[in-house]
Amino acid sequence: MIATINPATNEKLQVFEPLSVAELDLRIARAWAAFLTYRRTSLAERAACMVRAAEILESEKQRFGRLMTLEMGKPLKSAAEEAAKCALGCRYYAENAGRFLADEPVDAGAAASFIRYQPIGPVLAVMPWNFPFWQVFRFLAPALMAGNVGLLKHSSNVPQCALAIEDIVRRAGFPADVFQTLLIGSELVPRVIDDRRVKAVTLTGSEPAGRKVASQAAGQIKKTVLELGGSDPFIVMPGADLDLAVATGVQARLVNNGQSCIAAKRFIVDQRIAAGFESRFVAAMEGVRVGDPMEEATQLGPLATGAILEELHRQVERSVAMGARILTGGHRLDRPGNYYAPTVLTDIPAASPAYCEEFFGPVAILFRVDGADEAIRIANDTAFGLGASVWTNDVVERERFINEIESGLVFVNGMVASDPRLPFGGVKNSGYGRELGADGIREFVNVKTVVVKS
């Protein structure tokens, strides 16, 4: 079902009719026809449209924020900030795509030799609900600036966000069909991937979804970029600013109601400061204001769906049954909607869900360790490798963590976040490829070698 269901109340607000197979095929045909013309537009033309998209996002960020909050429950303030961040991404690629895609001369002993970056065609983006605008725009902006066209299969619980993004692109002046939202279920995604006119796929989502899409695309010899789950470590060493680490840690665990791949999930604390960190961290989690995400003062809203709430609680219950200890929370909140109490678990058994799985909600997992060696071992003892936050003022420790933690991002004395200027992506089961930065715009281009002998 493709529908808007308010996660704060579980009220079904609007249901959308999915595209038929014939309608889907027509959309793909229109995307291909659009590409044949759009690939010849100048970077200046594309940039002008991209700047207009940024202006729309900035001027209407409150409206877009309310739409995000209505469909997936994030606090309104952070939702409006998400729309503004999308504008920042649009402006970044409008300003820098020319530099990233410029011909690169190479001295190869010929009259001329260089590398040229050219668009490849329609790219399918399979996107998640948790950052319903930002996840799309961090694909959309570089893809369209490179001369590709986009087909969006968004999560079925954020259809109004998906349609709003398509409308922004249209209002910004991009040619017709350069970016289209496909209101389809997951069962039709293989059909899109198999279509010869669709040249590549990018997916942000779960590990099982990534495996399925990547396997399908591999069968057609099509490139994929995957940004999957994460179980990010948040390591705190004795030299850290403890108050700042606690305050940032709570924010990093509860960002987006705890539903972020790069949220801090495993708090790995040196035993010399663990008691002080634990008491302050638990108190701060207990002081979080839970409520209606439309209210400005709310810090933690509902989980996006009832199924996510049920799965999170099952993970907590299984972990406790295996020996984990609840320091606070560990239960649903008795109110309408998909609310879960801010939770801290410790004494984590090695085989429990809390040790092995990604928790997508406001549950922090606390480990005590004996020094940097054990911190690195536990940080790396996961199938995931997306981000990591390290808190230390010791230069030697810092270099060890940067070099030895297996992740795509390491932030020192700060919270992990995405930034249009920096490549974003993971290793291990967190996926492959990169979004954002120069790497992001070059993922879906033909890197063409040109040699002119005379």
pLDDT digits (tens, 9 = 90+) for 324-369: 999 999 999 999 999 999 999 999 999 999 999 999 999 999 999 9
Residue 289 pLDDT greater than 90, yes or no: yes
Residue 110: pLDDT above 90? no
Mind listing the pLDDT tens digit for each residue in 47-56? 999 999 999 9
Query: Which tokens is 447 given?
Result: 């890197």
Residue range 74-95: mean pLDDT, rounded = 98
**Catalytic choice (71, 82, 166, 227):** 227
Q: Quote the mean pLDDT of the chain.
A: 98
- Cβ proximity of 358 and 384 under 8 Å: yes
Taking the C-alpha atoms of 363, 259, 233 and 243 in order, what is their torsion angle to the nearest 10 degrees? -70
Those residues whose C-beta lies under 8 Å from the C-beta of residue 162, and which sit 6 or more positions away, are 132, 136, 152, 154, 181, 183
Q: Which of 49, 161, 261, 443 is catalytic?
A: 261
Percent of the chain with pLDDT over 70: 100
User: Are 72 and 7 contacting, i.e. CB atoms less than 8 angstroms apart?
Assistant: yes
Residue type, 31: A
Cα separations in angstroms, 279 against 42, 255, 344, 391: 58, 21, 11, 18
187 assigned to active site: no
Q: Is 71 a catalytic residue?
A: no
The pLDDT of 279-295, averaged and rounded, is 98
* Mean pLDDT of the region 131-156: 98
| 293 has pLDDT over 90 | yes
CB atoms under 10 Å from CB of 190, counted, come to: 16
Q: What is the mean pLDDT of residues 126-141?
A: 98
Q: How many beta carbons lie within 10 A of that of residue 17, not counting itself?
A: 8
Per-residue confidence band for 291, with pLDDT thresholds at 50, 70 and 90: very high
pTM attached to this predicted model: 0.97
Residue 113 confidence (pLDDT): 97
pLDDT in tens, 402-429: 999 999 999 999 999 999 999 999 999 9
Encode pLDDT of 97-106 as tens digits. 999 999 999 9
Among 35-39, 107-111, 397-401, the range scoring the smallest mean pLDDT is 107-111
What is the CB-side half-sphere exposure of residue 377 using CA atoms within 13 A? 10
**Looking at the predicted structure, is the pLDDT value of residue 92 above 90?**
yes
Position 178 pLDDT exceeds 90: yes
In this prediction, residue 28 has a pLDDT band, given cuts at 50, 70 and 90, of very high
Q: pLDDT class for 278, splitting at 50, 70, 90? A: very high
Number of Cβ within 10 Å of residue 55's Cβ equals 15
Q: CA-to-CA distance for 193 and 211, rounded, in angstroms?
A: 14
Strand 2-6 versus strand 11-16 pairing type: antiparallel
